[in-house]
Structure 1
Amino acid sequence: MKNKTLIRKINLQNFLSYGSQGEEIELQPLNVLIGTNGSGKSNFIEAFRILKAIPTDLMAPIRPGGGINEFIWKGAVASTAVLEVVLNNAEQDFNYKISFRGANQRLEILLEVIEQTEIGKEYRLSSEQSVIARGFNPKAAGAKTLFVNQELFYLKNQFSDIGFYRDWHLGQGSTLRKPQHTDLPEHPLEEDGSNLGLVLNDLQYQLPSQQILEQFKKIYPDAEELNIKIYGGTVQIFIREKSFSQPIPAPRLSDGTRHYLFLMALLLDPNPAPLLCIEEPELG
């Protein structure tokens, strides 16, 4: 995986468990969150789900969480949530900021700031959607549209491509234990791992096969081959061990081995998402 950082800093205020004082967090290419239950790890990741939803439907991650009022900090009356990020663009860093609140159980975006340009409600086509999603209100846009069009395009692409892996199912009945379908994409890896075989097969074309095997042998030292077999409209993963003449199919592998294959497919990706969020709760 390339050593790069999409977001250098994020500031959260009145958002979930982040209070009115706000909290600025500086990010590195790799960030590991460790903390006790209830310390706000999942809330931190939720902020990036909000960013991912901005170019499409901002309510998409909010509805399952109980509605907009559940995303506003409970420590003050009529709070306004603020998310602000400093993006590490190839040309120069720039800021993006969005503030929103709940109004009669509806999301109301109060302000967006792209670089130094403030975008009030008069510039949006909908109070629930960002200008990144819908563009500018043509009646009010004027020169402002030209000024931030390039930034809008960049933000839309980068936010949309943020990847999330939170829905871990490794036991009996999981998609990682079953033969997988051949009509799924080779990239990116689906959150449920339903295309893991195709992703690994594609990696074997893009990377030296020995590189993949060496990484796999770090946790499976007896492995001699990692094979992907496509037949009968299905994709199946097999491991060949030194002491066995017949390969072992994925359903017979341990949960930990399949978990490692999943992470390996993510982290060896030569064309990764601009930002990957991997949440691993206690798995057993």
Structure 2
Amino acid sequence: MARLEGIRIRNYRALRDVTLGKLWNLQRVDPLQPLTVVIGKNGTGKSSLFDAFGFLGDCLRVGVEEACDLRERGGFQRIRSQGVENEPIQFELYYREEGKARPMTYELAIDLDLQGRPYVASERLRQRRKGQSHGHPFSFLYLREGRGLVWSGLESYATDATEMVMSGSDDFWLESIQEEPESEWIELTDQRHLGIVTLGSLKAHPRIERFRNFLQGWYLSYFSPNSAREVSKAGPQKHLNESGSNIGNVVQFLEREHRPRIQKILNQIADKIPGIQDIRIHRDEISKNLYLLFYSSSFQEPFTHYQMSDGTLKIFSYLLLLNDPEPPPFLCIEEPENGLYHKVLEVLATEFRSYAESKKGGTQVFITTHQPYFVDALEPVEVWVIEKGEDGFSKITCAKDIPFVQNMVLEGQPLGSLWAADYLDAGSVIHAS
């Protein structure tokens, strides 16, 4: 299963310049873990970080201009970091398809054109050549202003000379490069859509296709209890949507195609939510509406899903995600603790880790939280602490890089308790150094 080993974000809201994990030029740091959790106080940038992942997915799906306006972002000028007027929003993703595969780097820059509309200023995919263990990776896709070169196949890359020209800042670089063997000159007709969307659908570019599929498969949970209470029309659906409004349809699919999985979910719910004995599907033959019926040990008549508590519906939706027969490569959840009893949180964190580390599932899980009980179940290498710097922008540190905290954990102190006691802050880093 593909993994995101590191990401750098620049000029996105509070994220003026933050890096999590490993990059091609930051090789002496640990990659992001199968389970990665970001903690921090209110207003430090957790929501900006979560939204940055969503923004990338939206750029792939609908284009950069529309993505700037979705989810109440308010347009490019609102999401570009304050005080930054002449720099683009930039992303750098360091990703590996499997354990021994050579990692790839994807670089994206989004800026305003002469008409003041967001567009893709540059886009790049690169990878080290076969047998190359160090040094800079070589491009197999490079676009600037919608024009550039793409190298086909699995092992074709730019030459050293072309790579040097493309890496320069000369605005006339297009006039300086020549097409090379196995490369193709391309010019996009729409600079508001990512080049990997178009090129990733062509058989000649399998590397681009695999990366596009990885990014396209990201799942960000915008779960809403009110959406989950909606009464949906009968009909099986494979995957839970981002709001959770099709819970009943996913249960129907699992009941039909993967009965052992749905039984496993029901057993887990019974363990985690006292009093729930059974959950069944009811289809109204007249309206064709679909209902979930929750049977309690205390009452003879069942409750429908729109009568259940926010916490029950949330746990139910997470268990559906963790039992998806075709799981996403990357799962992102913001503040899963909302509406849940605190004693459930350590169990939930353990469930997420088991799922992320599973050889069968293998989905990478990224979570933001401000709940110490959830953090108590985590290891320092899994936790990143986000804070607001003196300049007003976010800065982020992996908890394992705070020696004082690492030593306390080794002595048996839970990580969440250390955070609650204000040990996971800039002062701890300074003290430790």
Q: Same fold (TM over 0.5)?
A: yes
- The letter of the residue matching 1:214 is N
Alpha-carbon distance in 2 for matches of 1:282, 1:105: 40
1:130 paired with 2:194, answer yes
Write the mapping of 1:147-226 to structure 2, written as runs, cut at 5 A: 149-168=205-224, 170=225, 174-183=226-235, 186-204=237-255, 205-206=257-258, 208=260, 209-226=262-279
Cα gap change, 1:30 to 1:282, in 2 (>3 Å): closer
* Per-residue deviation, 1:275: 1.3
- The residue that corresponds to 1:142 in the other structure is none
Alpha-carbon distance in 2 for matches of 1:112, 1:71: 19
1:231 paired with 2:295, answer no
- The letter of the residue matching 1:12 is I
Alpha-carbon distance in 2 for matches of 1:114, 1:129: 16
1:70 paired with 2:78, answer yes
| Aligned residues of 2:58 and 2:64 also touching (Cα < 8 A) | yes
Alpha-carbon distance in 1 for matches of 2:2, 2:36: 10
Alpha-carbon distance in 1 for matches of 2:308, 2:55: 36
Identity %: 25
Structure with max Cα Rg: 2
TM-score (norm: length of structure 1): 0.82
- The residue that corresponds to 2:41 in the other structure is 36
In structure 1, stretches of 5+ residues that fail to align are 137-144
Aligned-partner SS, 1:61:
helix
| Aligned residues of 1:225 and 1:241 also touching (Cα < 8 A) | yes
What is the root-mean-square deviation of aligned Cα atoms in Å?
2.6
Aligned residues: 265
Alpha-carbon distance in 1 for matches of 2:192, 2:307: 48
| Aligned residues of 2:122 and 2:143 also touching (Cα < 8 A) | yes
Please state which structure has a larger fraction of its residues in helix.
Answer: 2
| Aligned residues of 1:69 and 1:105 also touching (Cα < 8 A) | no
Alpha-carbon distance in 2 for matches of 1:267, 1:94: 27
Alpha-carbon distance in 1 for matches of 2:219, 2:69: 19
Q: Structure 1, residues 191-221: CA drift from partner, whole Å, max 9, x if none?
A: 2222101212323442524421221023323
* Per-residue deviation, 1:155: 2.3
* Per-residue deviation, 1:47: 2.0
Q: Structure 1, residues 10-51: CA drift from partner, whole Å, max 9, x if none?
A: 0112222222xx321023222223222221112112222232
Q: Structure 1, residues 155-211: CA drift from partner, whole Å, max 9, x if none?
A: 22222221122252x2xxx3433432124x512112222210121232344252442
Alpha-carbon distance in 1 for matches of 2:315, 2:109: 39
From 88, 92, 97, the equivalent of 2:102 is 92
* Per-residue deviation, 1:281: 8.1
TM-score (norm: length of structure 2): 0.56
| Aligned residues of 1:16 and 1:72 also touching (Cα < 8 A) | yes
- The letter of the residue matching 1:33 is V
- The residue that corresponds to 2:8 in the other structure is 11
